[in-house]
Copies of this chain bind each other. A is one copy, B any other.
């Protein structure tokens, strides 16, 4: 009836993200007039104003913001449909496991050891990307970390629990300490906590540096610009310029294996079983 077409969703997301018809059109590989028309038609069909075109630029209305969120998830579902279908048709497809680089490294090695390296493909991703990769069909299972990652909508199995350490520049006074508390690390004036981009791509206010990848963060710690608190097993973080100090009152971090509840894949179930068995033998 008045469902939006895939094309219209893509077009709107492009405009809403660029906030500029010309650039959005370029990104989409079409000319600007058809784009204007398409967006106008969507607004007319919905009976809702999505964008306010004032002199010098475009802004989202509240309804437009809602549609941006919804359109993104709808598009993810659509690409997931083709991806999962293609993969379902491939007889010897390996499972794809998404995990943050460097996190729970030993556990991952043990898991690979048990299930065999060939039956799984590892997809290394940046912080908190796993949920999106599971959702859009790029991955079948993911290693995630409570309470860091958003587990909403996934089935999970706990694998291990561990304490957290502060990663500090080796030269910093706090690096010599035997142990630290959250209070001590949360307000170090010369090592402000780094700021990650929010869902809309903007950064929260604060004194810390802006980062969007793990390696940036590692670099910034080495440069004595920031500190961070992470699970003890995140070995990839340990540069020579880093020192890890236990944070005694930081909440424990649970490593979990997560998958989509609607997945009926036997291979996923077997992998989860293997991972859970791994936990019990340790």
A interface list, Cβ under 8 A from B: 2-7, 9-10, 46-50, 61-67, 69-71, 73-75, 77-82, 84-86, 88-89, 137, 150, 152-155, 261-262
Find chain B residues with CB under 8 A from A75 CB.
Answer: 3
Q: Are A86 and B47 in contact (CB under 8 A)?
A: yes
Q: Are B9 and A49 in contact (CB under 8 A)?
A: no
Q: How many copies of this chain?
A: 2
A-B pairs, top 7 by smallest CB distance, nearest first, are: A153-B153, A70-B81, A74-B77, A63-B89, A66-B88, A48-B89, A67-B85
Candidates B2, B48, B77; contact of A77 at CB < 8 Å = B77
> A137–B3 Cα gap in the complex (Å)?
13
> A237–B150 Cα gap in the complex (Å)?
38
Q: Are B85 and A63 in contact (CB under 8 A)?
A: yes
Q: Are B70 and A4 in contact (CB under 8 A)?
A: no
Q: Are B62 and A84 in contact (CB under 8 A)?
A: no
> Can you report 12 residue pairs joining A to B where beta carbons are below 8 Å apart?
A9-B78, A47-B89, A50-B85, A61-B89, A63-B88, A69-B262, A70-B80, A70-B85, A71-B81, A73-B262, A152-B155, A152-B261
Q: Are B9 and A82 in contact (CB under 8 A)?
A: no
